[in-house]
């Protein structure tokens, strides 16, 4: 790829991998099984609402960043829109420009959220006045936007390395699924503890309750 394109590709790829990590955790917690959402609500509903909002907004912000304009206010931005000028092969450059345009279009909804809700708050929208609604944002739209960015980078992979990267394959050690097991077991513990209390057989030391909060 050469130094300039290679360095740009490398940091863009790393950013997309991290974004997919965040999105994977969101999906596993909030968009896989209704029983998981019920478990989270029963365990710590407010905390997991904050987690849900944080993952959601971080994902939209990441999509908007990776598809933003090459520069703003005199500063250069890390974005897929910077790739094409570094490509010497005419056909490859044309292919990448087309794919980048598709990615920017797919990510337009995320830019709307970034500009009017995440990075800034639209005043009329916040006050409930007549205002243009935020763009519709769904899991499906996020999936498409992430994939469209991955397609751009994989076009480079295919040309220079004769391979592609499975960005959507995420299997983290110590991810949210480990937490779900702990929450499930913790609620089961509370259920058994409650039954002992009702039966009059409760012993604080048996449950380590004499140790106080963590």
Look at residue 88 in the predicted model and tell me its pLDDT.
93
Q: How far apart are CA 84 and CA 95, in angstroms?
A: 9
pLDDT at residue 211 above 80?
Answer: no
Tell me how crowded residue 197 is: count the other CB atoms within 10 A of its CB.
11
Residue 21's closest CA among 138, 152, 176? 176
- For the stretch 152-172, pLDDT in tens is 999 999 999 999 999 998 877
- Asked if 142 and 23 touch (Cβ cutoff 8 Å), the reply is yes
Task: Indicate if 113 and 45 belong to the same structural domain.
Answer: yes
Look at residue 201 in the predicted model and tell me its pLDDT.
80
Task: Indicate if 181 and 157 belong to the same structural domain.
Answer: no
Look at residue 209 in the predicted model and tell me its pLDDT.
66
pLDDT at residue 21 above 80?
Answer: yes
Task: Indicate if 112 and 70 belong to the same structural domain.
Answer: yes
Residue 94's closest CA among 159, 146, 162, 143? 159
* 212 falls within a domain: no
Task: Indicate if 30 and 110 belong to the same structural domain.
Answer: yes
Q: 75-76 and 71-72: which strand pairing?
A: antiparallel
Highest mean pLDDT among 102-106, 115-119, 133-137: 102-106
Helices (H), 31-138: 34-66, 90-106, 108-113, 123-127
Q: How far apart are CA 29 and CA 180, in angstroms?
A: 8
Q: How far apart are CA 112 and CA 38, in angstroms?
A: 31
* 209 falls within a domain: no
Crossing angle for the helix pair 3-30 and 34-66, nearest 10 degrees?
Answer: 160
Average pLDDT on 127-132 reads 88
Q: How far apart are CA 152 and CA 80, in angstroms?
A: 8
Higher pLDDT: 99 or 174? It is 99
Task: Indicate if 134 and 185 belong to the same structural domain.
Answer: no
Task: Indicate if 109 and 134 belong to the same structural domain.
Answer: yes
Task: Indicate if 119 and 183 belong to the same structural domain.
Answer: no
Task: Indicate if 24 and 70 belong to the same structural domain.
Answer: yes
* 160 falls within a domain: yes
The answer to whether the pTM exceeds 0.85 is yes
Look at residue 207 in the predicted model and tell me its pLDDT.
63
- For the stretch 180-202, pLDDT in tens is 999 998 898 888 877 877 878 87
Task: Indicate if 108 and 95 belong to the same structural domain.
Answer: yes
* 210 falls within a domain: no
* 104 falls within a domain: yes
Look at residue 198 in the predicted model and tell me its pLDDT.
81
What value does the mean pLDDT of the chain take? 92
Domain count, the chain: 2
Task: Indicate if 21 and 38 belong to the same structural domain.
Answer: yes
* 207 falls within a domain: no
Task: Indicate if 116 and 189 belong to the same structural domain.
Answer: no
- For the stretch 51-66, pLDDT in tens is 999 999 999 999 999 9
Look at residue 213 in the predicted model and tell me its pLDDT.
61
- 26: containing domain: 3-170
* 40 falls within a domain: yes
Q: Torsion angle of alpha carbons 37, 113, 155, 85, nearest 10°?
A: -160
Task: Indicate if 164 and 198 belong to the same structural domain.
Answer: no
């Amino acid at each position: 790829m050469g130094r300039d394109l290679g360095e740009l590709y490398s940091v863009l790829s790393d950013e997309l991998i991290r974004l997919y990590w965040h999105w994977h955790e969101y999906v596993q917690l909030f968009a896989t099984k209704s029983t998981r959402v019920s478990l989270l609500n029963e365990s710590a509903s407010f905390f997991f609402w904050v987690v849900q909002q944080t993952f959601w907004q971080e994902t939209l912000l990441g999509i908007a960043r990776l598809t933003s304009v090459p520069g703003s206010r005199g500063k250069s931005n890390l974005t897929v829109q910077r790739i094409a000028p570094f490509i010497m092969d005419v056909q490859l450059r044309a292919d990448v420009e087309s794919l980048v345009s598709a990615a920017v279009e797919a990510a337009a909804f995320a830019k709307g959220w970034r500009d009017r809700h995440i990075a800034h708050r639209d005043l009329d929208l916040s006050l409930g006045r007549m205002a243009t609604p935020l763009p519709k944002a769904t899991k499906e739209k996020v999936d498409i936007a992430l994939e469209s960015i991955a397609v751009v980078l994989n076009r480079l992979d295919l040309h220079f390395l004769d391979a592609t990267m499975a960005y959507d394959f995420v299997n983290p050690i110590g991810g949210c699924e480990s937490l779900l097991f702990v929450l499930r077991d913790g609620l089961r513990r509370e259920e058994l503890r409650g039954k002992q209390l009702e039966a009059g057989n409760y012993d604080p030391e048996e449950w380590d309750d004499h140790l106080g909060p963590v």
